[in-house]
Structure 1
């Protein structure tokens, strides 16, 4: 992304969440999604008829729902710290149903400033439970930003990281995962990643994948990494994380709406939950 501009892919995901609110098979209820975009729900385009486009919208909703469900389980067992990495226009912190849960939003300064403007213009109150932690990785470190934001590394924490990893190099992804896994207290995380294109992908779906890659590259936010499920699981186990649940996009959508449309995801989006229930 351009350092002086907010993330365009974050805007794209926000539009997907907003459009999803009119889905008769709603996965994620988020009344703030249209508001943070300053859009009247009636102004949003109708849901697409094309199955692959509809699936894309539902996948964005499903990954947030999956993460919020996992967070609710963590809160029930005592977690009171949530870190949202690459928060974009995510609205969870402003509709947080969990008393006592503190939320730290981490993002590039330009994207975070844009979000705060959107919140103010939409009349969405920033509750005292929210702390903003701007990070410019050319000058700052994640550890330093979270220390400044008051993250207590001796108390349980939940890390939420959606819509970011494909735009980072493999080493940057693994470095961030190691930081999260290095939390001294019990820790859980949900993140998504792109799998490698399977050899069985049809020419039509392969063309869709290539077109999507070209589009984000032209926006200045190219895909830089992908993993196999076996590869990422090995890396996480080496970090002393377990309880790994790794779902394909179609599997995830099917969890909430039944048989997914379509059966195959050309982009290869996957969502993973892992954690550690004991202190280091």
Structure 2
């Protein structure tokens, strides 16, 4: 990540969410702010899609949209049960807090100070108001911790919270993932988390494996390499060790199917999984 600029992969995700609003039917995920926050120039093909077959790009875009919809659904159910704190970890250009008009719900966005600074400038430029329910928690993890940053932001550890952590875990070491999940689990019995992870690479040297490796090479070249991979059994063990009792694990393809989107998915499309885990 360049100083004063957002993460390049965060920008790619934001572009996918925005382009989904104008390019895909039926729409998996509706976000009226996505195009505004990314800007017209942001809708152009990004560096990670150049030279890639359009159908593969579309499937990846649908998976990104599906995970956002999945997280929105988890948050909505939690709020209906009375949870009134939502923490977006690695928020990037996420718009959840700006789309939710329920004033009793308090949102916290956690991200690197440079990414948040750029986002706040974009919000001002596009006239998107920062809702009073939102608190920014800029954290440079080389200088601070998640616990310290959220404590300073005012997160109430005595009340329930849902944590949304999308597109981040694969860029962290397993030790950092353990620390984050341990912190979330320590929030109490009413804590829950939504996040995604990537399966280890299959040993087969086929076209799907080559595409996956090409994607990994591109994000690594951008300075944001994938560092951690899990099987379903491994992630369940990690979550159980942290104290999570309920674990719902779905491949991105299964999530799309649950939303009525049936598309031809290759083996490489099933390596991304979505998790919803809770303490009880």
What TM-score does the superposition give when structure 2 sets the normalisation length?
0.92
The residue that corresponds to 1:35 in the other structure is 36
Return closer, same or farther for 1:10/1:160 CA change in 2, 3 Å cut-off.
same
Alignment of 1:219 onto 2:217: no
Output aligned runs, 1:109-148, within 5 Å: 109-148=113-152
Deviation at 1:235, TM superposition (A): 1.2
Match of 1:258 in 2: 261
> Do the aligned partners of residues 20 and 202 (structure 1) sit closer, same or farther apart at CA in structure 2, a change above 3 Å counting?
farther
Find the aligned partners of 1:75 and 1:116 in 2 and give their Cα distance. Answer: 26
Distance across 2 between alignment mates of 1:3 and 1:180: 29
Partner residue in 2 for 1:238: 241
Q: Distance in 1 between matches of 2:111 and 2:263?
A: 32
1:66 to 2:67 alignment:
no
The alpha carbon displacement at 1:40 in A equals 8.1
CA RMSD between the two structures: 2.0
**Partner deviation per Cα, 1:29-76 (whole Å, 9 max, x = no partner):** 0010010012289x656xx97332111000000001001101111111
**Cα displacement (A) at 1:14:** 0.3
Asked if structure 1 preserves the Cα contact closer than 8 Å seen for 2:253 and 2:269, the reply is no
Task: Report the Cα distance in structure 2 between the residues aligned to 1:225 and 1:62, rounded to whole angstroms.
Answer: 22
Please list the CA deviations of residues 179-229 of structure 1 after superposition, one character each: whole Å capped at 9, or x if unmatched.
111113411110011111234x56101110111011001101111111111
- The residue number in structure 1 matching 2:13 is 13
Consecutive unaligned residues in structure 2, runs of 5 or more: 46-51
CA contact (8 A) 1:153 1:185 kept: no
Local SS of the residue matching 1:232: helix
Q: Aligned residue pairs: how many?
A: 274
Aligned to 1:189: 193
Please state whether the residue corresponding to 1:265 is helix, strand or coil. Answer: helix
The 3-state SS of whatever aligns with 1:9 is helix
Task: Look up the SS of the partner of 2:163 in the other structure.
Answer: strand
CA distance in structure 2 between the aligned counterparts of 1:160 and 1:105, rounded to whole angstroms: 10
1:160 equivalenced with 2:161 (yes/no):
no
The one of 50, 56, 62 equivalent to 1:52 is: 56
190-199 or 228-237: bigger deviation? 190-199
**Structure 2 CA distance, aligned partners of 1:93 and 1:226?**
29
2-structure distance, mates of 1:227, 1:124: 38
Question: Hey, what's the Cα distance between the residues in 2 that align with 1:184 and 1:94?
Answer: 27
Give the distance between the partners of 2:98 and 2:3, measured in 1 at CA.
Answer: 26
